[in-house]
Amino acid sequence: MNSTRRYGRLFHLSRNINYSQQQQQRSIAIQRNNCCRHTITLDNINDNVKRLEYAVRGPLVIRAGVIENELRQSSNHHPKPFNEVIRANIGDCHAMGQRPLTFLRQVLACSSDDSLLNYPNYPDDVKERTRSILKYCGGQSVGAYSDSTGVEIIRKHCAEYITNRDGIESEWRDIALTTGASEGIRSVLALINTISTDTLPSGVMIPIPQYPLYSATITEYGMYPINYYLDEDNQWSLNIDELKRSLNEAKGKCKPKAIVVINPGNPTGSVLTKKNIEDIIHFAKENKILIIADEVYQHNIWDGEFFSFKKILNELNEDIELASVMSASKGYMGECGLRGGYCELVNFDQSVKAMFYKMLSARLCSSILGQIALDCIVKPPDVNGESYQQYQREKFDVLESLKYRAKLVADTFNEIPGIKSNKVAGAMYAFPQIDLPKKAQEKAAELGQKPDFFYAMNLLETTGICVVPGSGFGQIPGTYHFRTTILPQNEKLETMMKKFKEFHQNFMKQYS
Amino acid sequence: MNSTRRYGRLFHLSRNINYSQQQQQRSIAIQRNNCCRHTITLDNINDNVKRLEYAVRGPLVIRAGVIENELRQSSNHHPKPFNEVIRANIGDCHAMGQRPLTFLRQVLACSSDDSLLNYPNYPDDVKERTRSILKYCGGQSVGAYSDSTGVEIIRKHCAEYITNRDGIESEWRDIALTTGASEGIRSVLALINTISTDTLPSGVMIPIPQYPLYSATITEYGMYPINYYLDEDNQWSLNIDELKRSLNEAKGKCKPKAIVVINPGNPTGSVLTKKNIEDIIHFAKENKILIIADEVYQHNIWDGEFFSFKKILNELNEDIELASVMSASKGYMGECGLRGGYCELVNFDQSVKAMFYKMLSARLCSSILGQIALDCIVKPPDVNGESYQQYQREKFDVLESLKYRAKLVADTFNEIPGIKSNKVAGAMYAFPQIDLPKKAQEKAAELGQKPDFFYAMNLLETTGICVVPGSGFGQIPGTYHFRTTILPQNEKLETMMKKFKEFHQNFMKQYS
């Protein structure tokens, strides 16, 4: 397909409607007629909240939960042709069997119960780390609030980490510790949203496909998504002409404020080249927009090299604004549930940064234990410490295994006729394209479903494999995708891929 | 003063401007002229963010931090007539020396490092609790995401807690676990905010004085604060005529959506009577508005009795909507840094609740360790468990000591001529009124400061005691207050009160 034509098409962020939702809406209509007792109804709540979608946790995932419950409650008979649901829908490493880093968890335990500072089984460097952090906590307790921007020593360790990564001095006062990366992203978007004073909404350029946190938050905040397509034919790279096209099309519809870049890519599994990053920086400078760099997968590189936006900014000697976010949830640690993250504001006006921090203060602070988890990542055990060897081995093992799985997933998909995947060069996902037969598309239409939703729901009901349809991330109209994580452990992933292959062949047979 | 006249006065939420802020603004102006390189400037960011104020962490508190640093760096000479800053500005129990509950912290440690399930020093009920929770966590790890609404078993324990508290069945699916109570409050406000579709802003009735989270969030979201005054002459009770007056005055300026009630009161230290709550419920019903009950201090009752809004709703057989929030940060546990909390949606339309949960899903989930902390509070050790005695003793000791301090603070203030405090019947604060001499008011005006800010800053610079001026919470114009916590430990609090008395006498002498 001609790429100019493809890019030119109108794009709507797809909405997943499935039968359970339709049923729900019907029962709501009945409820409405029967009962007028409610003060707060669908008719008088925030319209933006009604419109927002978050497919990674949408109706398909809810259905997966129902199936899991059925399986649990029916140990004797078999309601399904499978024994378990494989949750390949969300980047949740530990849920898929990854073990935590020992050092990190020992520091958390020791920080929670400081009597463990006398526990002989814990290494000295765990105790030292705990002591050095608690010293900076109110009352030496993780139960005290920190500054809204986080515990000072941890912010300093983040700055050291960035300094070492990029070879450029990082300033700890530019770093705020946040509840995962999500809070940082949401807060930056809130900061630049001028809907209260402008007649046009504030525009944010986001990649398509994108991680739905962006579309959901943009909708919730009444901002305007400027969708730019990633180039599937070129390993999901970022095409500057496409950036120009999308920005041009948004003229008169919004005030462009920022461009979001996710590198390594979610859901695409791509890694941007240095040249690509340079081009984006020049583009942002020319158009006077903020760069929001979602760099939470910076440790998940299976092919190529990670370049931080900050490093390239510095190489180009540019001083435009950049907000870069990082998280404890991804990489080799995968501590999603601890909600640790940071946001670095690079080249920001001091007074604007002060406003950002003031806004954060009304949220009080992020979880201190989440902050401590992040500390253990940005400052691993010292080479002379007792925990060093184990930490390095655990890290290596996770990364090696993920690398194997990244290749396994892409290779297996490419062996299946009708499925085509780019290589998984980074992050934890593949986003393959599927050729859906006309008959399947018609069947989906009959059920009031998107074709890719229909496909994914069939996959779930037949095999127990839960993936997210491409419509949840955005895709060029007429193309169909799904996102799967590469997170099931090796053996389970091998089984999953085998089952997937079988399912797809049967599906194609049924609908061709 | 005649109370009708007092209520009738126009009220503006006060802004704290002090000299350091003024200096900052001056230097910003200089920066602006020197440098035009910034894309994001004070002129093009979110105006609501610029306007919001959060005094509990405002300029006075920033100054306190600076003084603390000076004290730390000058062990030889004495830059100040005191050795330490006493942070009575924020309800941060552990920072003021309160010790955590042993059971809670052992469960946190054990959940963080599950090898501690074999640690002989830990009681069996700690291990059982840990196992029972981890079973419900993805991959049996606190590093996995939970549902956006929280870990199922913990939501169920919250429901049991509420059922036991009120003697009415609570439904666990009505409960969402949140990042402290703050996230619950902010999310409920976001849900009912219809600024994107209405021409008038959404109005939220808030008490004056109030906890600044409300005014800050209302400003950030572009909502309209409908300020109702609490009745200082009657133990800060809530006067229904005043509710009517404030709602009436807001007519044509906003669409009233909700009333916020903080009980026990922050900053007032009041506890609402049953009759008062009944009246509020009738008022909310009549005016078709949601009740947002901030009940985070429900364990902090020193005089009177705590009645939950839910219980009274049920007694009155009313089925209007109520959102009630609770937190792990207050009570006898004071675990502010862990960020555990819940929000119960009572009598909500199912479809509206579904929208609320969908909105939460874009935040992924609150900290699992924060959720676990909450679990240990809503479900303390069983009476037959090994940890039972110690838990009860620790709880009793904290509450007894707080009760002593509540009385000490109010009594001491009332001994000081020119200061008048209501009794501290609940929560962790006193909000005394001060008679500021005319000369002091003039001096403040000369410095461009609010009189109560001037007083509080003098207190800080002279004694190291950090309180928050009344203007940060709102007060009837022409009256002056400050909020102090009752959290310094007994001996320190006694010293603090003595120093306070001295300071006040000298201040009055100086300015009379």
Lowest mean pLDDT among A37-51, A248-262, B482-496: A37-51
Contact at CB, B367 and A194, closer than 8 angstroms:
no
ipTM: 0.91
Interfacial B residues in 211-250 facing A (CB < 8 Å): 212-213, 216-217, 220, 222
- Domain boundary among the residues A320, A351, A366 is at A366
- Domain boundary among the residues A349, A366, A383 is at A366
For residue A156, tell me if it sits in a domain.
no
- The Cα A330–Cα A349 span in angstroms is 30
- The Cα A70–Cα A78 span in angstroms is 9
For residue A387, tell me if it sits in a domain.
no
Which residue from B143, B190, B222 is facing A49, i.e. has the nearest CB?
A: B190
Judged by a CB distance cut-off of 8 A, whether residue A16 touches chain B is no
Smallest CA-to-CA distance from A336 within A14, A93, A26 is with A93
Phi-psi sector, A135: left (phi>0), alpha (psi -120 to 50), beta:
alpha
- The Cα A374–Cα A335 span in angstroms is 9
Lowest mean pLDDT among A223-227, A462-466, B52-56, B335-339: B52-56
Question: Do B273 and B332 belong to one domain?
Answer: yes
Interfacial B residues in 66-95 facing A (CB < 8 Å): 90, 92-95
Please tell me the distance in Å from A185's CA to the nearest CA on chain B: 11
CATH number, position A428: 3.90.1150.10
3-class DSSP state of B430: strand
Q: Using a CB cutoff of 8 Å and minimum separation of 24, what contacts does B195-199 make?
A: B195/B221, B195/B222, B195/B223, B196/A46, B196/A47, B196/A48, B196/A222, B197/A47, B198/B255
Distance of CA A425 to the CA centre of its chain: 16
- The Cα B81–Cα B67 span in angstroms is 11
Residue A28 has pLDDT above 60, yes or no: no
Phi, psi of B491 (to 5 degrees): -65, -45
For residue A186, tell me if it sits in a domain.
yes
Residues 6+ apart with CB under 8 A from B239: B229, B230, B231
Contact at CB, B94 and A138, closer than 8 angstroms:
yes
Q: pLDDT band at residue B5, thresholds of 50, 70 and 90?
A: very low
Contact at CB, A196 and B363, closer than 8 angstroms:
no
DSSP B70-81: HHHT-SSS-SSS
- The Cα A343–Cα A158 span in angstroms is 10
CA distances from A37 to B246, B317, B319, B346, B356 (A): 25, 13, 8, 13, 19
Residues of B in contact with A347 (CB under 8 A): 38
Question: Do B249 and B362 belong to one domain?
Answer: yes
Please tell me the distance in Å from B438's CA to the nearest CA on chain A: 33
Contact at CB, B109 and A112, closer than 8 angstroms:
yes
Question: Do B55 and B14 belong to one domain?
Answer: yes
For residue B112, tell me if it sits in a domain.
no
Round the CA-based radius of gyration of chain B to a whole number and report it.
24
The pLDDT tens digits for A447-506 are 999 999 999 999 999 999 999 999 889 999 999 999 999 999 999 999 999 999 999 999
Give mean pLDDT, residues A52-81: 80
CATH number, position A234: 3.40.640.10
Judged by a CB distance cut-off of 8 A, whether residue B119 touches chain A is yes
Residue ranges in A464-512 assigned as alpha helix (H): 490-511
Contact criterion met (CB below 8 Å) for B505 and B35: no
Residues of A in contact with B45 (CB under 8 A): 191-192, 194, 352, 355
- The Cα B92–Cα B95 span in angstroms is 6
Interfacial A residues in 142-171 facing B (CB < 8 Å): 142-146, 148
Question: Do B352 and B435 belong to one domain?
Answer: no
Question: Do A345 and A426 belong to one domain?
Answer: no
Question: Do A225 and A328 belong to one domain?
Answer: yes
pTM of the model: 0.91
Residue in the block written with tokens 């460097």? A125
Question: Do A457 and A504 belong to one domain?
Answer: yes
Helices vs strands, H then E, count in chain B? 18, 14
For residue B238, tell me if it sits in a domain.
yes
Amino acid (one-letter) located at B297: Y
Residue A415: count of CB within 10 angstroms of its CB = 9
Quote the number of domains for chain A.
2
The pLDDT tens digits for A374-418 are 999 999 999 999 999 999 999 999 999 999 999 999 999 999 999
Judged by a CB distance cut-off of 8 A, whether residue B182 touches chain A is yes
A275 is in which domain, residue-wise? Answer: 161-366
Question: Do A346 and A231 belong to one domain?
Answer: yes
The pLDDT tens digits for A129-147 are 999 999 999 999 999 999 9
Residue B200 has pLDDT above 60, yes or no: yes
Judged by a CB distance cut-off of 8 A, whether residue B39 touches chain A is yes
Q: pLDDT band at residue B54, thresholds of 50, 70 and 90?
A: confident
Helix (H) or strand (E) segment spanning residue B505: helix B490-511
Partners of residue A87 on adjacent β-strands: A466
Which residue from B38, B94, B146 is facing A144, i.e. has the nearest CB?
A: B94
- The Cα A224–Cα A463 span in angstroms is 38
3-class DSSP state of A277: helix
- The Cα B287–Cα B471 span in angstroms is 29
Token pair listed for B369: 């360790």
Give mean pLDDT, residues B436-441: 94
Judged by a CB distance cut-off of 8 A, whether residue A290 touches chain B is yes
Question: Do B418 and B348 belong to one domain?
Answer: no
Lowest mean pLDDT among A181-190, B44-53, B320-329: B44-53
Distance of CA B468 to the CA centre of its chain: 13
Residue B315 has pLDDT above 70, yes or no: yes
Contact at CB, A182 and B364, closer than 8 angstroms:
yes
3-class DSSP state of A175: strand
For residue B242, tell me if it sits in a domain.
yes
Contact criterion met (CB below 8 Å) for A398 and A225: no
Question: Do B350 and B413 belong to one domain?
Answer: no
- The Cα A21–Cα B310 span in angstroms is 30
Token pair listed for B186: 């902010």
Which residue from B42, B190, B348 is facing A40, i.e. has the nearest CB?
A: B348
Helix (H) or strand (E) segment spanning residue B284: helix B274-286
Distance of CA B425 to the CA centre of its chain: 16
3-class DSSP state of B301: strand
The pLDDT tens digits for A246-255 are 999 999 999 9
For residue B21, tell me if it sits in a domain.
yes
A266-296 burial code (b ≥16 CB/10 A, e <16): bbbbbbbbeebbbbbbebbbeeebbbbbbbb
Residue B76: count of CB within 10 angstroms of its CB = 4
For residue A217, tell me if it sits in a domain.
yes
Contact criterion met (CB below 8 Å) for B258 and B287: no
Residues of B in contact with A333 (CB under 8 A): 143
Please tell me the distance in Å from B111's CA to the nearest CA on chain A: 8
- The Cα B391–Cα B257 span in angstroms is 41
State the pLDDT at residue B33: 44
- The Cα B59–Cα B87 span in angstroms is 14
Question: Do A463 and A406 belong to one domain?
Answer: yes
Best probe of the A interface among B31, B52, B113, B466, by most A CBs < 10 A, is B113
Partners of residue B314 on adjacent β-strands: none
* Mean pLDDT taken over chain B: 90
Question: Do B349 and B439 belong to one domain?
Answer: no
Partners of residue B459 on adjacent β-strands: none
Judged by a CB distance cut-off of 8 A, whether residue B334 touches chain A is yes
* % chain A with pLDDT above 90: 83
Residue A14 has pLDDT above 90, yes or no: no
